[in-house]
Amino acid sequence: MKLLVLDGNSILNRAYYGIKLLTTKDGQYTNGIYGFLTTFEKVKELIKPDYVAIAFDLKKPTFRHKMYEAYKGQRKGMPEELAQQMPVLKELLKLLGYKIVVCQGYEADDILGTLAKACEETGNECVLATGDRDSLQLVSPSVTVRLTVTKMGRPEATLYDEVQIMETYGVKPKQLIDIKAIQGDTSDNIPGVKGIGQKGAADLIQRFGNLDYIYDNIDTIDVKPGIRKKLIEDKESAFLSRKLGEIYTDVPIEKDLQAYTPQPADTNGAVRLMAKLEFFSLIEKMGLRNDAVITNEVTQEDAVEKPVETIDTKQLADMVNKNDRAVFIGVYDNKEIKEIAFDIGNKIVLCNNMDKKTAQAIFENDKTEKITHNIKPLFAVLDKMGVGLQGKTFDSVLGAYLLNPSASGYDV
C-alpha cells in the first residue's frame, strides 16, 4: 500500500510565491490555495496513493527552539495575503475528505519523518511531497520524495530516490544531515561551521563519511590547516546544527495508515467553497459535481432567453443605429469581422462577414455607445478595414481589470 504525505506549509508557501497574486472579485486572495490544489492533484495523479496525510506547522515554538533560541529567528512573519489563505485551505481539504496532521512542539517535517518511518516498519511505500529539500534525508528503499515547485503558475514534482540523491549530491540520504551540520542553513538560522559552505561540507562528508569520524580523527584527516582550524573552533556548533537539522521520526501522532484513508468528500460543501474562491475550472478538473454552484452574477431566474435572427448586412446598420447603445460580441480574424452579434433589445441579430460599408455605418456613428467584451481584436480588424471607431466605447474586460487587477482572468 502507498501513503502520500504532503508538507502543507511548504507547498502552500511555494505556490504563493510561484503564482502571481490572484483574488476573487470580492478581494479574497487565492493564489496559494490554487497552487496547492494543482500541485496536490498532480502528485496524486502521478503516484495514485491509497492513503493521504497533510502535515502543517503550528505557530507555537518547537523542541528545536528550546534547544537553540535563535532557530529560525531571522524569519519574518507570513505575509498577510498568504496568512488569510491558510484557514481556507485547511477547511477545503477537510471538506474534500483528507486528514490534516499537526502536533504541538514539532514541525511538519517531523510528521513527514514519523509517517515515513511507520511505512518502513510496516512494509508500505511512502511518498513525501514537499518543497523543502530537508526531507531528502528521509529517502530510503521504501521512501521517495517528490520535490514540488510552482513555475510560471504550473506545478512540478521532481522525483528523488536514493539513486537521484547520489547522482545529485554524491552521498547517501542520511549523510545530507551531516552536510547541513557543517554548512549550516541560513533559511533556518542553523549556524554550522563558519567559513565552510555547501561545496566544502559535501567534500568532507563524501571523503570521510560522517561528522563523528571527522571529529574522532580531526588531527589526522587529510584537510587543509584552515579547514581543520574552522572545524575545531566550531565543533560544538556543528553537533548542535546536526541536532537542529535532523528530522525527528517519533512524533506522537497516529501511525496506523488506515487512519489516513481518504473519506467521502462533502462534495456540495467543497464545491460551494471552491465556487466562492472562483475555482470553476478546478471544480471540473477535480471531478466534482457543479450542481451546487450558485454564482452571484447570474441565476437561472435572472437569465432571459432572446431569439436569435441572422440578417443581411444591409439591414444591420439601420437596426443597430436605432438604439442609443450597441451591445455586441464578435468573431474576428486578421482582416475581417467573421461573425458579429448585436443585442437590439427584444432579440439578438447575427451577421456574417460584415462588409466595410456596414462597419463604417455602425462603428463611425458617434451617437451610438458601443459596449463589448475585449475590444482589442476589433481595433486591429477595423484598422485593416480602414474603419474608425467613434463615440463612447466600453470594454467589460478593461472595466473588470480596473475593479480587480489581480484576478486570474476576465472571461465571460
- Ordered by where they begin, the domains of the chain are 2-260 (3.40.50.1010), 308-403 (3.30.420.10)
When comparing pLDDT for 304 and 331, which is higher?
Answer: 331
**pLDDT tens digits for range 301-321:** 455 678 988 988 778 998 898
Q: Which range among 73-77, 108-112, 140-144, 283-287 shows the weakest confidence by mean pLDDT?
A: 73-77
Q: Pick the closest to residue 135 from 241, 7, 3, 1 (CA basis).
A: 7
Mean per-residue pLDDT over the chain, rounded: 91
The span from the CA of 371 to the CA of 364, in Å, is 14
CB 146 within 8 A of CB 127: yes
**pLDDT tens digits for range 347-381:** 899 999 899 999 999 999 999 999 999 999 999 99
pTM of the model: 0.75
Going by pLDDT thresholds of 50, 70 and 90, the confidence category of residue 297 is: very low
The span from the CA of 379 to the CA of 375, in Å, is 6
User: Above pLDDT 70, what percent of the chain?
Assistant: 94
* C-alpha cell read off for 38: 494543482
Q: Pick the closest to residue 342 from 360, 314, 323 (CA basis).
A: 323
